Amino acid sequence: MRSALAILAGALVLGVAFLRLTGISSPQVTMVVVVLAALGTGFFAARRGALAGFLIVYLANVMFVLVNVVQLGIPQNDGGALGFAGRMLIVQLVLLQFAVPAAIAGWLGAQARRRLVQRWQ
> What are the tens digits of pLDDT across the range 47-57?
889 999 999 99
Residue 49 CA to residue 107 CA, distance in Å, equals 4
Q: How far is C-alpha 81 from the chain's CA centre?
A: 24
Residue 4 CA to residue 84 CA, distance in Å, equals 29
Residue 51 CA to residue 53 CA, distance in Å, equals 5
Q: What residue ranges do the domains of the chain occupy?
A: 2-120
Low-confidence ranges of the chain (pLDDT < 70): 75-80
* pLDDT at residue 77 in the model: 67
